[in-house]
Structure 1
């Protein structure tokens, strides 16, 4: 690219900011050509680099239009708002047409690559919150209040076994076969202690209750460690180096019930060999931290145990987060929701808020 900043962008940015922007994009270009700092990471093809540079140039202008000022470099909060503008078809082509889902994904991938570059140079991380499918952009489905209760109930009963002494020999044999498959322990070695350990585990309730309270992103579930829990003050402390969007340490509130479940889970966790020498709060059956896929698998399993209607709804792990944002704003206020969701601005929080059916019904009764 001879001139790394497009003519359109040069027309709207002042000369001083242009110097900063040009330097930012040159460093981004070098990062892509060299493949970053990761060992054995090859650089991108010239055509791919040019495509990324062209799109990040457009993203800069879209971000400036949203926030109303020419800010350089891009921040995760601006990226959030650009991504939301794409999802809501406010960020459009020059001819006024909306971008296709595949084009939206390309802009999203450009943002991901840009923030890889920023993170390797001491900048903040960024995690996308929209899924741009071929058919349509991500819908804003979220769990309603009664559905949140159903998820909690399902997490408590998830994989729960009956009392060892209350089942028939045939049922006990079948359950031992299941536990052998689940644990890797031979069926003949499944003891009452192993049975009770899996019967009473609070790992899934801890994970679900905490995620519902703290609106945890998948990456935050993945990175959460023991020292995040401050149960004496009913808090989850997320350090700034683990906050995908924040520039500071976040102190996220937990309910008394969630704090108690976590106290009991941490006691159970200390007794499990799988966690010896590990500091993650939750590990899956394979001994790995949860990721987006395993969390979605878990959610789908929980949904099968509930009466939640999933037809014509795009429910994902982020639906938990959007639900918390909706009801924190409705019951509390925008400031509480913004802090709980770890946003840098109310503008970002606004797009998480949806007036609930219950709220609108109450309003109709009043008018």
Structure 2
């Protein structure tokens, strides 16, 4: 990756860091920050497509990461390497603070972007928070429902379930084996499985529904009720009207669910796919016309 000059609105080092670091630390910290922020700006949103985040997202991430570093320095001393224990400690600190959940969720997203850079550029492991914060709802404890390992397995399983080899590239023997699988999955005779069934089985529908359900703790009834207009891709949230909130999570207000970046991407791909499927024409259901 070529490190280029960042937009003027994105400070590499905030003024507060100058008073806390010596000259050598400042040089190392500046180089580190420039590498992270340049990656986010150039390709962090979708590295495979070399698509970066907007100037404002990188600016906000820069500010929040700067505060996160200072929290770590105050407790453990200077470092430029954040690990999972650091991130978990930050989430715990956020949990006990009285600030709005929307602000807390932005710190969590900043950490996830940082670990996205670590994973892509340094070969480190991704990080998933043990708690997420959604505006207008109580803090959601992911570990109360599935462990972190179980959540990762669920997300990966949906990708495997939704993935088949290209029909035209498969050998006759491979097609025969996959037709047996599809016949069982679709509950129809093997000789009635068509290329259209094959194409329909390769979809972002299931990965997106599972990812959204994990992020928001959605019940089946909320999945069935979900509408396209609930999705706000730009802000990475699902806006659920209070009358559709089966758990009254929003406390009498509309319920806003913060979505992970990978969840938002899956939803974006599913919405594009959905728009190309004629059976969804004239319908606003996000998923529930067909969950099979």
- In the superposition, the TM-score normalised over structure 1's length comes to 0.39
For CA contacts below 8 A with separation 6 or more, give which structure has more relative contact order.
1
- In the superposition, the TM-score normalised over structure 2's length comes to 0.48
